[in-house]
């Protein structure tokens, strides 16, 4: 499979199939040079002295169009040449194709391509009036030729009438399709673990011919998880189409390969890609999107993502497979640290005047270092602070703040806190840890311990349920 080189200057005929302006039965109209005329034929010029071009509606006089709803007759009021002059890149390969048919018998015309002052005959076509003949070919722009004329010249027509002969339709002359992919991530970042990222990919055909069988694939970035049901076409052909089940629509999530697949363009289905016109017809191209959730493993890292597409150039005799790759989308993820707190007392029942010893452990399970770690553990009423010592940081009994400091991934800090029980009852004490980084699972950063403080034995047990 080949990748197209840097795109040459886009070449495509204007009004190639003579669909504009719409006519009823047939009309002989001014060519594109007659700008003062309210109704004229866009794109095409003629060497006829009256500057007139004849268009027919499909089915008029029993003649069907070969493509679309209209076609042209080369001999309008006189024998002439029908042409367009197009800007071209020297060295670029251009493709042509056309339908030709006689009107009352065997008609012959020539295809001339080259510099406007001296186009060169490429081929002659002779066809009868019972069927359309179909022809294709290529042309390489010579060095120094920045404008190229594409012209049809009447050679002969059956019947002897100078205003009759040589039907034309389905004309194409231009560059191969050239798909350009652009990718964005919304929001742009930096983001946090657990945030949702929407990836949007726009495919625009900057070439002349349609890109056929367009299939866009995008591997879900490492460190993220695809959000089911988020596939959507947001602009272009089949807008609004979405699916997560392979085969029932034009897009699906391939769980085995962990990628999303979009079949794009007109006529796209669950089985194959469709046809994407050039930007002259579809300026915005087509845009698709899907969403992912940033996994814990991506904390403090950069998420990288690139989309690609396969498509075909079918302007020649056999399909030519091509590929396109989007720009790389990078998303910064802020560091994350999952703190877990475990708190325990050396005894769950004490008497007034005894010492209660608490042991608090805070552990960082990553994925990044936790900075500025603080554990809030204020002693409640009924306890009087005695002492505190730990593996790191300091404890302030007035505020109950244990300033742990920085805690590397996988490390644990411990604190032993001692207090005197001063009144009977149930005393509940909670320790909660925080850090500068986002905690992917905040449910584990708090732990609570209840201690029952009993009075002298002669008194009732305040810790027993009241009747």
| Mean pLDDT for the chain overall | 92
- Above 50 in pLDDT, residue 248? no
Quick: pLDDT tens for 68-85.
Answer: 999 999 999 989 999 999
Region at 69 (left for phi over 0; alpha for psi -120 to 50; beta for the rest): alpha
How would you label 306-318 residue by residue, b for 16+ Cβ within 10 Å and e otherwise? bbbbbbbbbbeee
- Candidates 426, 424, 280; CA nearest to 348 is 426
Number of Cβ within 10 Å of residue 442's Cβ equals 13
- Candidates 81, 134, 140, 93; CA nearest to 114 is 140
pTM of the model: 0.81
- Of the chain, the end-to-end C-alpha distance in Å amounts to 84
Alpha-carbon torsion, ordered 11, 200, 261, 277, to 10 deg: -20
Residue length of the chain: 467
Contact indicator for 111, 151 with CB cutoff of 8 Å? yes
Contact indicator for 270, 261 with CB cutoff of 8 Å? no
Quick: pLDDT tens for 105-159.
Answer: 999 999 999 999 999 999 999 999 999 999 999 999 999 999 999 999 999 999 8
Give the 3-state secondary structure of residue 9. coil
Quick: pLDDT tens for 388-436.
Answer: 999 999 999 999 999 999 999 999 999 999 999 999 999 999 999 999 9
Q: Give the whole-angstrom CA distance, residue 4 versus residue 137.
A: 19
- Check residue 403 and give its pLDDT: 96
Quick: pLDDT tens for 157-167.
Answer: 998 888 899 99
Extended beta strands in 314-398, E state: 320-325, 329-332, 337-345, 349-351, 355-367, 370-376, 383-390, 394-396
Quick: pLDDT tens for 175-198.
Answer: 999 999 999 999 987 999 999 999
């Amino acid at each position: 499979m080949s990748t197209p080189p840097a795109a040459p200057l886009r070449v495509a005929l204007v009004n190639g199939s003579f669909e504009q302006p719409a006519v009823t039965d047939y009309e002989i109209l001014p060519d594109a040079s007659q700008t003062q005329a309210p109704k004229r034929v866009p794109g095409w010029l003629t060497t006829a002295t009256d500057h007139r071009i004849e268009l027919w509606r499909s089915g008029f006089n029993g003649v069907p169009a070969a493509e679309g709803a209209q076609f042209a007759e080369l001999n309008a009021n006189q024998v002439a040449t029908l042409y367009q002059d197009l800007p071209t890149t020297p060295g670029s390969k251009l493709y042509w194709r056309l339908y030709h048919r006689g009107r009352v018998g065997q008609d012959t015309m020539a295809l001339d391509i080259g510099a406007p002052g001296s186009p060169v005959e490429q081929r002659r076509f002779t066809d009868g009036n019972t069927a359309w003949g179909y022809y294709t070919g290529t042309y390489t722009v010579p060095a120094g030729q920045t404008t190229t004329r594409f012209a049809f010249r009447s050679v002969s027509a059956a019947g002897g009438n100078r205003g009759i002969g040589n039907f034309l339709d389905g004309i194409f002359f231009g560059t191969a399709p050239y798909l350009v992919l652009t990718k964005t991530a919304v929001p742009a970042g930096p983001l946090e673990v657990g945030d949702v990222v929407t990836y949007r990919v726009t495919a625009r055909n900057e070439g002349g011919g349609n890109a056929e069988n367009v299939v866009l694939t995008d591997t879900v970035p490492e460190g993220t998880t695809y959000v089911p049901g988020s596939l959507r076409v947001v602009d272009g052909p089949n807008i609004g189409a979405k699916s997560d089940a392979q085969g029932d629509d034009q897009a699906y999530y391939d769980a085995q390969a962990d990628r999303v697949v979009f079949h794009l363009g007109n006529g796209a289905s669950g089985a194959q890609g469709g046809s994407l016109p050039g930007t002259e017809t579809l300026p915005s191209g087509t845009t698709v999107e899907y969403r992912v959730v940033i996994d814990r493993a991506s904390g403090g890292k950069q998420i990288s993502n690139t989309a690609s597409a396969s498509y075909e150039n079918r302007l020649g005799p056999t399909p030519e497979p091509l590929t396109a790759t989007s720009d790389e989308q990078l998303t910064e993820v802020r560091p994350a640290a999952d703190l877990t707190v475990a708190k325990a007392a050396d005894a769950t029942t004490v008497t007034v005047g005894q010492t209660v010893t608490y042991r608090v452990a805070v552990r960082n399970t990553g994925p990044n270092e936790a900075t500025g770690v603080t554990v809030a553990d204020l002693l409640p009423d009924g306890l009087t602070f005695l002492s505190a010592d730990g593996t790191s940081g300091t404890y302030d009994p007035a505020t109950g703040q244990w300033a742990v400091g920085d805690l590397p991934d996988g490390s644990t800090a411990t604190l032993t806190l001692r207090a005197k029980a001063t009144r009977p009852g149930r005393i509940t004490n909670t320790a909660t840890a925080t850090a500068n980084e986002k905690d992917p699972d905040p449910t584990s950063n708090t732990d609570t311990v209840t201690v029952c403080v009993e009075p002298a034995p002669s008194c009732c047990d305040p810790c027993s349920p009241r009747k």
